[in-house]
């Protein structure tokens, strides 16, 4: 049984006093499940034939705290980030309405914040469309994930001919951070990150030479 970079949690209580019977599994973000050591039929949502991970005993809260200690704790975000988020993603605006937002985004964001007394969060992903003005810059500087033959890896699943930012490349990280800073300069307060789980893993090479399977949600 293999769970890459998994977290196993051993529940506690009278029903488990005889030993480790059932272990909840939180793995690499793709599959969750449990290991039942006493069941006649064992079902494991994993890969391979070896066991690889950490066992955390106690409550879920204690297990997560211990796991955070081993992986590193993030900085505490501002208190307002824990408030209500209202999303208009996939709202069927017509083209004229959408373009009106883009004519002067800085003024638009400022107006929204002043009128409704809110913070502005934008939804981002790690894809760069080949029609984007910054696409060629990314190609020229090696900021995208590449195929084994050295070509930029592209597909059409979300945006036509899109490439994926290679976040194992420190220079690509700086470049992407600069792009985000540009959005913050015009009034954006925070970002919702998405789609890290859809990075390619077959026939590709990462900048740091690491295993693409382990790079999900990097």
Residue in 104, 137, 194, 211 annotated catalytic: 194
**Which of 106, 151, 197, 211 is an active site residue?**
197
Please indicate whether residue 194 is annotated as part of the active site: yes
3-class SS string, the chain: CCCCCEEEEECCCHHHCCCCCEEEEECCCCCEEEEECCCCCCCCCCCCCCCCEEEEECCHHHHHHHHHHHHCCCCCCCHHHHCCCCCCCCCCCCHHHHHHHHHCHHHHHHHHHHHHCCCCEEEEECEECCCCCCHHHHHHCCCECEECCCCECEECCCCCCEEEECCCCHHHHHHHHHHHHHHHHCCCCEEEEECHHHCCCCCEECCCCCCHHHHCCC
List residues with catalytic annotation: 194, 197
């Amino acid at each position: 049984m293999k769970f890459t970079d998994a977290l196993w949690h051993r529940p506690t209580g009278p029903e488990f006093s005889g030993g480790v019977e059932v272990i909840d599994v939180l793995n690499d973000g793709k599959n969750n499940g449990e290991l039942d050591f006493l069941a006649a039929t064992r079902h494991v949502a994993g890969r391979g034939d070896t066991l690889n991970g950490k066992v955390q005993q106690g409550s879920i809260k204690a297990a997560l705290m211990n796991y955070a200690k081993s992986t590193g704790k993030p900085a505490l975000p501002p208190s307002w980030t824990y408030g209500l988020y209202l999303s208009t993603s996939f709202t069927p605006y017509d083209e004229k309405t959408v373009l009106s937002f883009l004519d002067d985004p800085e003024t638009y964001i400022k107006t929204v914040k002043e009128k409704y007394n809110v913070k502005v969060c934008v939804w981002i992903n790690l894809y760069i469309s080949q029609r984007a003005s910054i696409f060629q810059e990314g190609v020229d500087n090696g900021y995208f994930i590449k195929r084994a033959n050295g070509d930029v890896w592209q597909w059409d699943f979300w945006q036509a001919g899109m490439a994926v930012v290679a976040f194992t490349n420190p220079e690509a990280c700086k470049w992407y951070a600069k792009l985000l800073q540009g959005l913050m300069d015009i009034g954006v307060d925070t970002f919702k990150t998405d789609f890290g789980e859809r990075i390619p893993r077959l026939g590709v090479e990462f900048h740091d030479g690491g295993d693409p399977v382990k790079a999900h949600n990097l």
